[in-house]
Amino acid sequence: MSHALRQELIDTARAMNASGLNQGTSGNLSVRCDEGMLITPTGMDYAGLTPDDIVWMDLEGGTKGPRKPSSEWRFHAAIYQHRPEAKSILHAHPVSCTALACMGKGIPAFHYMVAVAGGKDIRCSDYATFGTAELSAHVLTALEGRKACLMGHHGLTCFDSDLPRALALAIEVEHLATVYSRILAMGEADVLSDREMAVVLEKFSSYGVQDKKNP
């Protein structure tokens, strides 16, 4: 299995912590690989990881390698099983996202960039104990039609087509959560209408797509 992909997973985990999205050994990342996934190991400091520490798993929980996978592997597997467009998954406990999640609040369309997560808002899932099938079901529900969600009393989960995009999405959602938290300190947000967000989502469908030029 790809040594380079394992190293990219480690590099992204370190970048996640360096960005302030996460701290210590909490959080986890995975990438789809060979009818299964590569996922960060449980309870290990990202700074000391080597490619051999990354765990390969099938989507039913079978593993290869000397390390135990992240305790959150179940919702990673569930996302890969139900969302074929998901190629990489990031889970972290960023401060602003977690604060909102501990209030049971998602992020409404107070700003058009909320559409970056794929819908008119970013939902907050119901709470369940970490690592359980119940939590996986709640996460899947919150992610319906979305690429990111908050997790009740827990943190943030998002996915994208590769690891750099998943990290960029997580950073953007945390920024949105920070701004929304400041708005809540002042009062209620002025939320964009579903019609306005539909226009934004349509524009986002081609955002950043460059036409190929003839040689």
Tell me the domain boundaries of the chain. 3-204
What does the radius of gyration of the chain's CA atoms come to, in whole angstroms?
17
Band of the pLDDT at 206, cuts 50, 70, 90?
Answer: confident
**For the whole model, what pTM was predicted?**
0.94
> Which sequence positions are flagged as catalytic?
72
CATH number assigned to the domain with residue range 3-204, chosen from the 4 options 3.40.605.10, 3.30.420.140, 3.40.225.10, 3.40.50.1000: 3.40.225.10
CB burial class (10 A; 0-12, 13-18, 19+) of residue 55? buried
Question: Is 214's pLDDT higher than 50?
Answer: no
What does the mean pLDDT of the chain come to? 94
The token pair that represents 37 in the structure block: 């996934």
pLDDT at 205: 82
Q: Apex CA 176: angle with CA 173 and CA 179, to 5°?
A: 155
- Is 58 within 8 Å of 35 (Cβ atoms)? yes
